[in-house]
Every structure is written in structure tokens, then in C-alpha cells.
């Protein structure tokens, strides 16, 4: 059975005070719209289109390559937004279509699938996903006669009695596609807001003698959207808790979760400990038995087993096993640290490979370099990789010893087992097992200070 989805995302979100469409506001570093798209994909929906309006070009730019984007130039209501997807619905050929909001990110694949199963089994023209709220203010109320849904009435159009209903419309509905198209043709905007309400399709389809049903969501999260920054923070909190709970169930240890934010797609192995103030985001994968944090940030990185990342930041890089770093290390994109590498305080590594067991203990910059195994860096080494016009590489052989405060002016190569003397500026290749010294000869002026004192 073919299914389609239409995601309504034309909203501006004035109260966000953002110049992006509301659906692009982020929960755990991901636009809310991406959450909804993932839920649809997870539920196995064949084709999804997005209805965009406010700054539609931003949605087009971000998602247009993967999803058709329909334009709603004037925002005349949820029903009007759905009308903008007419061509998509007609051409899609899917028997059933789900309509959702791009700014309600906590809808999940399971709910989508279960609601579809009920929708199909009951032979409904439309099935509304509802939730029970303690405070239903502002939401459309589900009005029933007996067990059956009659219609949905919006807050502004509702009578006192109707406002007392706590079962509300989530804004997510399964429709038989052909019936949705028919109902859209019948929508009128004669209501308190002068909008085309998608909610009116319920009464319209019932009036045609078709069946309408309600699928009650297990919790009320599915309904949660964000209208302002406060709401967005609440969504982030809920999502954050959920992600942490998943990792707890997988055997990840947390000694408190203050300031811990883990992106939705991050994977962490059992036995790893996450300390406070640690942010893991993007496509990060962490192995077993690591300790990350406190106060670390890891983005799009692959981290092996047994690594320690203490108060450090890692971007788009790979750590093999038992790498130890920190505090205050910055690993910039495209770096690879092999097994047992040790990196100490105030070290930056960029676009470099660092071989097994190499130690870079203090105050060092390693950029655009290929560093061998078991190399020792003294304190304050700098790879001079940029001459103002182009970047060049530094190559350091296995077991080399780079003296303190060495400048390695690239392109340059230090051979296997070679030494550089402290304070040297190395501009020519150093052969294997040689010592390179480059510094002025030391001179002593006896009694200089005493003579100066007399003057």
C-alpha cells in the first residue's frame, strides 16, 4: 500500500523572533522539520512533500534536493496549506496521505504506523491523531457524539461547553487521499479567523457519509510544537531527556546530566561515561569504555574504545582506540589520531595524521602534517604550514624527537628517529637518525650585570 505525507511548514513563527521559517528552528541541533521527516521515513512513507511559505527559499535550499516543496504564498490557514499540495497528492498515486506540521517534532514513526493501521482497518476517510491535555487552551477540540468524532472546533470558535473538552487535535491526520482532495474542494473560510481550516474536513467527510475516526496518541508529546523560544527550550529538554534515556538503557554512564546535550543520531558504546558539560552532536560515534568530559564538544567525530576526552573539542575527525587528550585540546577537521596517542593541554591538531603512541603534550600546533609512530613532541612546537599564500605539509618519521620550541617550516620532512634541537627553526629536511640544530651560538658576557649596575 502506497502512502504519502504532506508536511505543513509555511509558518513564520513571529514569536520566535527569528528570520527563519519556524520549522527550521532547531531541537537538539536539528531543524524541527528534519525530525518530522525522519519520523515519516521511519514509518516507511513512500513520498513526502513540504508546504513552505515564509522564507520558502530556505526550506527549498535545505530540503529541496530530497523532497518536493510546494509553495503557499499567502498563509490562509492549514486547509489552504494542504491545498497547495494538490498536484503532489494527485500525481503521487498513494492510497493514503498523512498530514503533519513541520513544527511539531516529537511525532514518532510508531504513532504514525499505528494510526495508519487503525485508519485502514476501520475503513476511515480520515483519522485524527488526538491527545489528552490538562490544559487544552488554544487547541482544536475533538467533539464527539458517543464514541464517534463529529467535528473539530477551534478555540476561537468553541462554545463554553466545547472549551471544557480536554481531548485535542494534534494536527496530524491520516486521510484516504481521494477523500482529502474532495474535502479540500469544499473548505470555506467562514469562521472566527477567516481561515481555511483543515480541521473542517472531518465534518465535511462525515457529511458525505464517510467514516471519520480518532487515534489517541499514547502520550501528549506528539502534539507539542513550539510557538516561541520558551516552547523551543521545552522541546529541547524533552528531546534531550529522551536521548539520554536511550543511552542509559544502552549502558552509557552519566554522573549527572547538567549541560549534557547529545544529538539524536549520536551513537555511544556501553561502559562509556559522559561527564557534565559535554555536547556530542552530528554523526558522532563513540566506542566503549571512554570518558568524555567534563566540558567537551564533539561534532561529527568517530571515537574508538577507551578514549579520554577531557575539556576538549573535536570536529570532523577520527580517534582510534585509547587516545587520551586534554585538558584544552582542539582537534580540527580531517585529523586522525591513531591508537594510544596522547595529547596534552593547549594543543591544536588540524588536517593531520598522528601515528600510534605519539605524544604531543603541551602548547603545540600540528597542522597539515603526517606524523609517524611514537614521536615525541617537546613543549611549544609549531608546524609552520602557511606562508601567506599556500599551505604545505610537514612529514615526521617514526620515533622522531621534536625538541621544545621547534618551528617546522613546511614543506619539510624530519626523518625516522631524527632529533631537532630545542629552539630550532627547521627549514630543510632532516635525514633519518640525524640531529638538526639551528640557533645562534650562545655567548657569555662575564660581569655584564654588575657593570650595568655601576652605571
Q: Which residues bind ligand UD1 (CB under 6 A)?
A: 8-11, 22, 51, 53, 72, 75-78, 80-81, 101-103, 139-140, 152, 154, 168-169, 171, 197-199, 225
Q: Pairing relation of β-strands 382-384 and 26-27? A: unpaired
Nearer to ligand UD1, 13 or 367 (CB): 13
Alpha helices in 64-169 (DSSP H): 78-83, 86-92, 109-121, 160-163
Closest contact distance (angstroms) between CB of 143 and ligand UD1 is: 11
With vertex at residue 426, the alpha carbon angle to CA 425 and CA 428, rounded to the nearest 5 degrees, is 150
111, three cell numbers: 504513532
Nearer to ligand UD1, 16 or 268 (CB): 16
**Residues 109-128 as b or e (16 or more Cβ within 10 Å = b):** eebbbbbbebbbeeebbbbb
Can you tell me the distance from the alpha carbon of 269 to that of 415, in angstroms, rounded to the nearest whole number? 38
Nearer to ligand UD1, 172 or 349 (CB): 172
Nearer to ligand UD1, 191 or 236 (CB): 191
Nearer to ligand UD1, 103 or 336 (CB): 103
Closest contact distance (angstroms) between CB of 310 and ligand UD1 is: 42
Name the residue whose CB lies closest to ligand UD1. Answer: 140
Closest contact distance (angstroms) between CB of 28 and ligand UD1 is: 19
Nearer to ligand UD1, 107 or 430 (CB): 107
Nearer to ligand UD1, 80 or 240 (CB): 80
Nearer to ligand UD1, 25 or 274 (CB): 25
Closest contact distance (angstroms) between CB of 171 and ligand UD1 is: 4
The residue written with cell numbers 570532523 in the block is 316
Nearer to ligand UD1, 187 or 360 (CB): 187
Could you give the strand order of the β-sheet that contains 285-286, starting from the edge strand earlier in sequence?
Answer: 267-268, 285-286, 302-303, 318-319, 336-337, 353-354, 369-371, 394-396, 412-414
* Residues labelled catalytic: 362
- Please provide residue 368's backbone torsions phi and psi, each rounded to the nearest 5 degrees: 50, 50
Bridge partners (DSSP) of residue 318 are 302, 336
Q: List Cβ neighbours of 363 (8 Å cut-off, separation of 6 or more).
A: 345, 346, 347, 379, 380
Closest contact distance (angstroms) between CB of 118 and ligand UD1 is: 19
Closest contact distance (angstroms) between CB of 139 and ligand UD1 is: 4
Q: List Cβ neighbours of 216 (8 Å cut-off, separation of 6 or more).
A: 129, 130, 131, 132, 167
Q: List Cβ neighbours of 438 (8 Å cut-off, separation of 6 or more).
A: 421, 424, 425, 426, 427
Closest contact distance (angstroms) between CB of 12 and ligand UD1 is: 8
Inter-residue contact 383 to 394 (CB < 8 Å): yes
Closest contact distance (angstroms) between CB of 217 and ligand UD1 is: 12
Alpha helices in 167-217 (DSSP H): 177-186, 200-207
Task: Give 282-287's long-range contacts (Cβ < 8 A, gap of 24+).
Answer: 282/29, 287/321
Task: Give 356-360's long-range contacts (Cβ < 8 A, gap of 24+).
Answer: 356/320
Inter-residue contact 188 to 201 (CB < 8 Å): no
28, three cell numbers: 537538539
Closest contact distance (angstroms) between CB of 228 and ligand UD1 is: 12
Question: How close are the terminal C-alpha atoms of the chain, in Å?
Answer: 100
Amino acid at each position: 500500500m502506497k502512502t504519502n505525507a504532506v508536511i505543513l511548514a509555511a509558518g513564520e513563527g513571529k514569536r520566535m523572533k527569528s528570520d527563519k521559517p519556524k520549522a527550521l528552528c532547531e531541537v537538539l541541533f536539528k531543524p524541527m522539520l528534519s525530525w518530522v521527516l525522519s519520523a515519516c521515513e521511519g514509518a516507511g512513507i513512500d513520498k513526502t512533500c513540504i508546504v513552505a511559505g515564509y522564507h520558502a527559499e530556505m526550506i527549498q535550499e535545505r530540503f529541496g534536493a530530497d523532497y518536493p516543496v510546494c509553495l503557499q504564498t499567502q498563509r490562509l490557514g492549514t486547509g489552504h496549506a494542504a491545498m497547495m499540495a494538490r498536484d503532489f497528492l494527485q500525481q503521487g498515486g498513494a492510497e493514503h496521505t498523512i498530514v503533519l506540521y513541520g513544527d511539531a517534532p516529537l511525532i514518532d514513526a510508531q504513532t504514525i504506523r499505528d494510526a495508519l493501521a487503525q485508519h485502514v482497518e476501520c475503513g476511515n476517510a480520515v483519522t485524527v491523531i488526538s491527545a489528552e491535555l490538562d490544559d487544552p487552551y488554544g487547541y482544536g477540540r475533538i467533539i464527539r457524539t458517543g464514541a464517534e468524532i463529529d467535528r473539530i472546533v477551534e478555540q476561537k470558535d468553541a462554545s463554553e461547553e466545547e472549551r471544557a473538552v480536554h481531548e485535542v487535535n494534534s494536527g496530524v491526520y491520516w486521510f484516504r487521499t481521494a477523500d482529502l482532495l474532495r474535502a479540500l474542494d469544499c473548505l470555506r473560510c467562514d469562521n472566527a479567523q477567516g481561515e481555511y481550516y483543515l480541521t473542517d474536513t472531518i465534518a465535511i467527510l462525515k457529511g458525505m457519509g464517510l467514516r471519520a475516526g480518532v487515534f489517541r496518541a499514547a502520550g501528549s508529546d506528539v502534539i507539542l510544537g513550539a510557538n516561541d523560544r520558551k516552547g523551543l527550550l521545552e522541546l529541547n529538554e524533552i528531546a534531550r531527556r529522551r536521548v539520554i534515556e536511550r543511552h542509559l538503557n544502552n549502558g552509557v554512564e552519566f554522573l549527572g546530566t547538567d549541560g549534557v546535550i547529545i544529538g539524536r543520531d549520536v551513537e555511544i558504546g556501553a561502559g562509556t561515561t559522559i561527564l557534565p558539560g559535554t555536547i556530542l552532536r552530528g554523526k558522532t560515534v563513540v566506542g566503549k569504555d571512554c570518558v568524555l568530559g567534563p566540558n567537551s564538544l564533539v561534532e561529527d567525530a568517530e571515537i574508538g574504545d577507551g578514549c579520554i576526552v577531557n575539556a576538549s573539542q573535536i570536529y570532523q575527525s577520527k580517534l582510534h582506540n585509547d587516545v587520551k587528550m586534554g585538558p584544552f585540546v582542539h582537534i580540527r577537521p580531517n585529523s586522525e589520531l591513531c591508537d594510544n596517542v596522547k595529547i596534552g593541554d593547549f594543543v591544536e591538531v588540524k588536517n593531520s595524521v598522528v601515528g600510534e603512541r605519539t605524544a604531543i603534550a603541551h602548547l603545540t600546533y600540528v597542522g597539515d602534517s603526517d606524523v609517524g609512530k611514537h614521536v615525541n613532541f617537546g613543549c611549544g612546537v609549531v608546524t609552520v604550514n602557511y606562508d601567506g599564500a599556500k599551505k604545505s605539509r610537514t612529514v615526521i618519521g617514526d620515533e622522531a624527537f621534536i625538541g621544545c620550541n621547534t618551528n617546522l617550516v613546511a614543506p619539510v620532512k624530519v626523518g625516522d628517529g631524527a632529533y631537532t634541537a630545542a629552539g630550532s627553526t627547521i627549514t630543510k629536511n632532516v635525514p633519518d637518525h640525524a640531529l638538526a640544530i639551528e640557533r645562534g651560538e650562545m655567548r657569555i658576557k662575564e660581569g655584564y650585570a654588575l657593570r650595568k649596575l655601576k652605571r
